[in-house]
Chain A
Amino acid sequence: MTTADPARPGPGAGTGARTGTRPGAAEAPEFSGQRIHVRPDFALIGQMVEPGSRVLDVGCETGDLLDYLIAERGVVGRGIELSQAGVNESVRRGLSVVQGDADTDLQDYPSKAFDYVILSQTLQATYHPRDVLSNLARIGRRAIVSFPNFGHWRVRLKLLWDGTMPVSEALPGAWYETPNIHLCTIRDFTQLCRELDVTIERALALDDRGSDKGIADPARANLRAQHALFLLRADETPI
């Protein structure tokens, strides 16, 4: 059974009290004397984003993903972040980020204002995931959503054998301190997408490091993926 690594920051550490911890970072090789950190899920998200498009990152923490997408995909990037420390750090980096809450502030944005709205590892920490998801699909021509999969076999085993809430790399923190208040499985999520008339264009099963496990079958993904990454669309407009 995987347990929480004490070296890893717990939920809410640093920034974003209600932002879940994203999958582990991997260090890319050094380029021209500058060390850049690229997590595998950043690269996967980057592949879903058309170069030069308009992107809103909801729960952008200190702006790492935005920075990556601007540098690698030439996007026009904006961010919303709950923690003021995260916002200030993002703005210090020259990014356009506002302090805001996915639960309450997405309703301000006009429909189809962005090509992509990204909600990375944050959905499970919102109060109203259903409203948040429909807002994402309304604001963006595409939405990119990732979350820890509560259907993973270790999670299921932990509940079945120990009868306690699972704690893992994907789900750090004990039940009483986790910011993750609306956990779901991949199957739960796809059902919600159907209810909201949101089309799943791509679905990836990710491991703890955020790398693609290459599982196509949804039932197997629901059992074996620690994280899931979805590309969604609510209308037929081509990008």
Chain B
Amino acid sequence: MDLSLNDASPADLDVPSRQDLAGLVVELGVEQPLQLDCGARLGPFKMAYRTYGQLNADRSNAILVCHALTGDQHPADPPHTDRAGWWERMVGSGQVLDTDRYFVICANVLGGCMGSEGPKEINPETGVPWGLDFPVITIADMVRAQTLLLDHLGIEKLFCVIGGSMGAMQALQFAVSYPERTFASVPIAGAARHSAQNIGFHEVGRQAIMADPDWCDGAYLSYGTKPRRGLAVARMAAHITYLSEEALHRKFGRRLQDRKSVTYGFDADFQVESYLRHQGSAFVDRFDANSYLYITRAMDYFDLAAEHGGLLARAFKDTPVRYCVISFTSDWLFPTPESRQIVHGLNAAAADVSFCEIETDKGHDAFLLDEPEFFAVLNGFLEGCASLKGLKV
């Protein structure tokens, strides 16, 4: 059953209307619930997604874009806002993910808070928001849900699955779990497993949320409140990890915020403080704190080698998927050695892989920004794939 006002059957996916721009919501796992890694079964569940461009006649031009931790299903042209989409430079007519050529799909991840089933949605059994009753989900669960969406859209095989950061984890997991369902996979600024340092950062964020009395043991929605301060602190800490020392210095240095000298107090004297406070409070308005707990947990649990006897190469054994691994020099959250580890695993499986490190001082966030070399490399890879596959548009 489709919940959206204007959901489209696969045959008329190419009819964009103003209502489509708000995205679509589909109910999946109706006949058979989704088996989750934690043992629970979920279904029916909602999946909010968005498509761009047109699916071609032989349904071979679909690209699945996987969003990062706090992203959504609107990489370009988001509704109800003047803000640009998080991948506005990448997705669109004439862009690298050219919507005149490719059918681009992006779904809000399972556990998210932008319309897909997650802790802020209503638990049909209780009639109140799931909160902590929502089952803990994994990256593999997110990917399972995405394949159900592809089934719904009538897409057997993707041209490419692509994503940065947590999106890279999904792009990897998708290609490993369903090698027959995609021609190519592009994990950007990612890793084959979440590092101890990154689990540590996530734990700081979660503790900040859970330490906020307004979190109410996860039931804040029932009390009509939100752990605003906790979630804002989590975001502030995380935001620092998305940048680089150099980028922070260039942007703010030690400059003071609207004052000539320090105030000998705990106001936001420095511009960087003011900036982070703004980032924190703006984030609270658009993101659900429990979702933040669930999604960071999914990333922490991600370890591709673990499910293959600890050997990453085994995950890629006999893979027909064409990989392009991309990292950024100043990314210290998912540094190049993490990507190199993926490449080593792929090499050990004699898989078809390209690996590029892009020179930039913008840190982890570089994958969201205007990096011409990054776009050029990715474009070359996709062109190569299109010609290898004989893609007709």
Contact = CB atoms under 8 A, between A and B. Distances in A.
A99 B357 contact: yes
B355 A87 contact: yes
A84 B380 contact: no
A133 to B, nearest CB: 19
Interface in A211-228: none
Interface in A113-165: 113-114
B238 interface: no
Interface in A52-111: 78, 84, 87-88, 90-100, 105, 108-110
Interface residues of A, number: 21
Contacts of A114: 350
Contacts of B376: 88, 92
Pairs of residues from A and B, 7 with the lowest C-beta to C-beta distance, nearest first: A94-B384, A92-B380, A113-B350, A98-B355, A108-B347, A91-B354, A108-B348
B354 A92 contact: no
Contact of B352 (A78, A92, A94, A108): A78
B56 to A, nearest CB: 20
A84 B387 contact: no
B188 to A, nearest CB: 13
B359 interface: yes
Contacts, number: 68
A95 B354 contact: yes
Nearest to A80: B347
B338 to A, nearest CB: 14
Nearest to B382: A94
* B347, B348, B356, B359: residue with the most chain A Cβ atoms closer than 10 Å: B347
A92 B353 contact: no
B349 interface: yes
B297 to A, nearest CB: 32
B343 interface: yes
Given A88-B356, A95-B384, A96-B322, 16 more contacts: A84-B359, A90-B354, A91-B384, A92-B376, A92-B379, A93-B380, A93-B384, A94-B385, A96-B353, A97-B354, A98-B347, A98-B354, A99-B357, A100-B355, A108-B347, A114-B350
B22 interface: no
A78 B359 CA distance: 23
Interface string B27-52: 00000000000000000000000000
Interface of B: 322, 324-325, 343-344, 347-350, 352-359, 373, 376-377, 379-381, 383-385, 387-388
B373 A96 contact: no
B352 to A, nearest CB: 5
B169 to A, nearest CB: 20
Contacts of A84: 356-357, 359
Interface in A11-34: none
A100 B359 CA distance: 16
Contacts of A78: 352-353
A95 to B, nearest CB: 7
A92 B377 contact: yes
Contacts of B322: 96
A84 B352 CA distance: 18
B377 A108 contact: no
A223 to B, nearest CB: 40
A88 B383 contact: no
Nearest to A79: B354
A142 B63 CA distance: 38
Contacts of B357: 84, 99
A116 to B, nearest CB: 13
Contact of A91 (B350, B352, B377, B387): B377
A91 B324 contact: yes
* A98, A105, A113: residue with the most chain B Cβ atoms closer than 10 Å: A98
A96 B380 contact: no
Contacts of B383: 94
A91 B377 CA distance: 6
A185 B344 CA distance: 33
